Amino acid sequence: MLTPLLGAVLLLALVWKVSQLVRAPHDRLLQSVTFCIVHAGLSFPLGLPSGTRLVDGLVGAGTTKLLQNVLLLGTVYWLMCFYLHSVADQERGRRRARLELIPMAATTAVITLAMAATPPGQRGHVYATANMQVGGVATFYLVAGLYLCYALSMALWWTCRYARLSRGPLAHGLWVVAVSLSAMVAAGALREVLVVVRSLGGPVPLPVILGAKLLLDVAIPLFVIGVLYPSTANRLAAVHLWWRHRRVYHRLTPLWTALHEAFPEDSFGRSHGTAERAALGC
């Protein structure tokens, strides 16, 4: 039930942010948010059974899993970049963003080598059923999970900091993002512990694994909702103000009519487009 909702939310966010970026292509903050959602949106179809069958069938088992995780690494990297570009010292933010490419690139290289070292019969694994006692499988999930936890924790710290300094819709949206990031960090940390336990041969109840997955499934659309909330709230407020002005305009029509009849010499001529705006109540 959550899959269609997640897809719809990601698609809406993607269309909205790309359209904004087209109008402001040099806005680094908007670039970071847009690229973050682009990576998340590209990873979504790879997580669907049909997407997995298509890509793995064309390239080979494990390709989908590798691509999906690389895109997720890019998602959290661009999320960190958003906060890094928000600092007052823009040059320092750009320098830090470039430095953060190093751990992301290293993580990408390690999980790629881990997938290559995994026996072909084990590459098509999913987290819930993967054999963590296979070195390549455990390394893949452990290293990718460590970077995700690191990047999400950094983003959570910045989100809480800015939420405390903000007001109105922006603060509300940031707190929603903070809740979703907290859930992601908790789920990621739990999965890391489970990887270690399973790699050592310890038993892990399936409901615990599914619970961590459900937490992520809820947190991801919640994160996107939090990102979209400030813009949505501001637009709804603008629509409400327009509607109120329109009602006042029409309620004053009898007064303007009476004044025009009493003082026709003081009336103003219509400029181009006025009739259309009047029809719309503007």
Check the CA dihedral 236-241-244-246 and report its sign.
Answer: negative
- pLDDT for 5 equals 64
Higher pLDDT, 27 or 183: 183
- Does the structure show a pLDDT above 70 at 121? yes
Separation between Cα atoms, residue 15 and residue 41, nearest integer Å: 10
Higher pLDDT, 35 or 18: 35
- pLDDT for 233 equals 72
Alpha helices in 24-134 (DSSP H): 28-46, 49-58, 63-84, 90-99, 101-117
- State the average pLDDT for the chain: 82
- Pick the most confident of 77-91, 93-107, 124-138: 93-107
pLDDT in tens, 193-211: 999 999 998 888 888 888 8
Separation between Cα atoms, residue 276 and residue 149, nearest integer Å: 55
The encoded tokens of residue 26 equal: 């040099």
Separation between Cα atoms, residue 37 and residue 11, nearest integer Å: 9
> Pick from 147, 41, 132, 32: which is nearest to 83 by CA?
32
- pLDDT for 1 equals 46
Show the domains of the chain with their CATH numbers: 2-242 (1.20.1070)
